[in-house]
Structure 1
Amino acid sequence: MTSDTSPAPASVLPVLLPFRASQPRRFAPLRLQFIHAVGFIGLALLVGGAAHAQSGADQLSALGVIWKWFPLLMSGFMFNIAISVLSMSLGTIAGLGLGLLAISLNRPLRRTAWGTTQFFRNAPWLVLLFFAMFMIPFQFTIFGTTYPLPDWVKAVIGFALPVMANVSEIVRGAVGSLPSGQWEAAESLAFSRRKTLWLIILPQCVKRMLPPWMNLYSLVTMATVQASIVGVTEMLTLTAQVHAAEGGRPDLLAPLYGFAMLCFFVYCYPIERFTLYLERRFHLHQ
């Protein structure tokens, strides 16, 4: 007869299992619950009902006015998006160069880049827009040929100035956030500073720069309505013109400008959700 000499289960030492990082959740940009949809629909019905109550029996309703001028209003909104894309592209290219100068080993260049960044980053966007509108000539003459410069081009330049400064700070912060061992390892492999930047440092900075860059684009998109103040025909300008064309009815103010707000929300909200997703995802992989 044999006896069981195996240790009791209580005496078994606990085993530490290997750590398994949880997978990032998939991107869900429009995670709206039912209560949110009810709130949006209720707000739309409330505004539309109030506007309909103020309108006369023989007048077109607020929704009818929006539907009537829908193509014109959307063309203005597309122009807002075009201004934001062009401003962001121009400002990103200029900001990348300014950010590289901000981390230069040349002290005068570094100081000049720092001063330029701080000036345009802390200046009001509307002031910079007025500066671009009134300081940039409205036409250029090259070899006897005159080329006009439209107001929307100057608006793009005006919005690109703060974008340039913010992108410069994004680049400088992303490069500074990398461990110094990256530079030391590249130096030990006889990489020049230029090759280290373009082949090692900047590729690693892309994931760090992308979320704040997208957040900046949302801000630029919403700020493009300021171009209406300087005479650029965009959505807010067209909204005011539609309101005037309908006789200046006071019941159309809230629906028309509410529709403009809704367009910007529908466009910018998915960008904001995707930015948060990238922040979570890149944080898990750092």
Structure 2
Amino acid sequence: MIRDTSAPAAPAHPLPVLLPFRLTAPQRRFPPLRLTLLHALGIVGLGLLIAGGAHAQAGVNQLSAFGVIIKWFPLLMSGFLFNILISVLSMALGTVAGVGLGLASISLSTPLRRIAWGLTQFFRNAPWLVLLFFAMFMIPFEFRIFGVTIPFPDWVKAVIGFALPVMANMSEIVRGAVGSLPSGQWEAAESLAFSRRQTMWMIILPQCLKRMLPPWMNLYTLVTMATVQASIVGVTEMLTLIAQVHAAEGGRPDLLAPLYGFAMLCFFIYCYPIELWTRRLERRFHLHQ
């Protein structure tokens, strides 16, 4: 009797339900963003319309609106970059806290799940401006730790104020992405003796990345546009600097539309490509199927 001592053949394909999400080689390169001729004409036309209207109201010996913008351009752009900094820090802080809150909302512990649900609903349905005021006036302007005074500037409070709604919305994004995966993923992992933590971090969350990325990018554009509310509580960002420039130029009424139009144009140029990229990712990942 001949015994077959050869090793058993490996399965042709690994279990597909346990494969984490990975971009293949052709997908690692995102397509470049293209602004069509219609987009360019619209941006130029808007700028000419604002500049033309302001020029018609300006006096003979006064600097034109376009000249005022050029004169104060470095200062205005520093304010705009500060808006971007606030949005990035708020998004980073809110994302980290939101992922933890989202995982708590799907926990097996009923008290933890209910607490996470309550926090998510509270901060998600509260007005952003109210949360900003809450952070500005409830957080002290300085802390004393072991006799050392640590200042807490207003812009840091603004970051915390914007991070609170980001945290709540990110929690919903995580919960929705995890819930959208088929239950077979959990069953297959359980059949292979994966713990719940291993299943979550090695199988579920990697597959949720492509589902969470587009809404996360949409949320970032909302945070970026909302950072102008920080001017209401005294943070020196772009709108605050525009008010200072307008006062420095004598409070001319013909400068209001060009200056605020310039701010609108800056935010549009920054946020619109993100919105286009979000649509491309949705089509690439087939999220609507």
- Both proteins in one fold, TM over 0.5: yes
Q: Which moved more, 1:160-169 or 1:44-53?
A: 44-53
CA distance in 1, matches of 2:178, 2:287: 19
1:198 pairs with one of 201, 220, 241: 201
Please, which of 256, 274, 286 is the counterpart of residue 283 of structure 1?
286
Question: What aligned pairs does 1:167-182 form with structure 2 within 5 A after superposition?
Answer: 167-182=170-185
| Percentage of pairs with the same residue | 81
Change in Cα spacing, 1:69 to 1:98, as seen in structure 2 (3 Å) is same
2:31 is the counterpart of 1:27 = yes
Partner secondary structure for residue 251 of structure 1? helix
Q: CA deviation at 1:45?
A: 1.8
The correspondence for 1:96, drawn from 95, 99, 102, is: 99
Separation in structure 1 between the aligned mates of residue 117 and residue 134 of structure 2, nearest angstrom: 21
Matched, 1:77 2:100: no
Aligned residue for 1:135? 138
**Alpha-carbon separation, structure 2, partners of 1:285 and 1:158:** 33
Q: Output the amino acid matched with 2:121.
A: Q
The aligned counterpart of 2:251 is: 248
1:118-163 deviation per Cα after TM superposition (whole angstroms, max 9, x unaligned): 0000000000000000001111000011111000000000000000
Using the TM superposition, name which of 34-43 and 172-181 deviates more.
Answer: 34-43
5 Å matches for 1:1-286? 27-32=31-36, 34-283=37-286
Deviations 1:221-264 (A, max 9, x none): 00000000000000010011000100000110000000000000
Residue identity matched to 2:97: A
Q: Secondary structure at the match of 1:141?
A: strand
3-state DSSP of counterpart to 2:143: strand
TM-score calculated relative to the size of structure 2:
0.88
Q: In the aligned structure 2, how far is the partner of 1:37 from the partner of 1:239?
A: 25
The Cα shift of 1:29 comes to 2.6
Q: 1:232 to 1:112 in 2, by over 3 A?
A: same
- State the 1:47 CA deviation: 1.6
Distance in 2 between the 1:284 and 1:155 partners? 33
Measure, in 2, the Cα distance between the counterparts of 1:284 and 1:231.
41
Q: Deviations over 1:7-42 (max 9, x none)?
A: xxxxxxxxxxxxxxxx9997353332x344333323
Runs of 5+ in structure 1 lacking a partner? 1-22
In 2, the alpha carbon distance for the partners of 1:35 and 1:142 equals: 57
Q: CA deviation at 1:46?
A: 2.1
Number of residue pairs aligned between Structure 1 and Structure 2: 263
For residue 17 of structure 2, what is the aligned residue in structure 1? none
SS in 1 for 2:108: coil
Give the whole-Å Cα distance in 1 for the aligned partners of 2:128 and 2:30.
35
Q: Is the 8 A contact 1:171 1:209 kept in 2?
A: yes
**Is the 1:87–1:163 contact (alpha carbons within 8 Å) kept by the matching residues of 2?**
yes
Contact 2:104 2:116 in 1 (8 A): yes
Q: Match for 2:111: what amino acid?
A: P
SS for the counterpart of 1:233 is: coil
User: Is contact 1:28-1:273 (8 Å) kept?
Assistant: no
Give the letter aligned to residue 157 of structure 2: K
- Residue 44 of structure 1 deviates from its aligned partner by 1.9
C-alpha distance in 1 between matches for 2:217 and 2:288: 19
Farther-moved stretch of structure 1 (37-46 vs 74-83): 37-46
- Hey, what's the Cα distance between the residues in 2 that align with 1:263 and 1:43? 12
Distance 1:232 1:261, change over 3 A: same
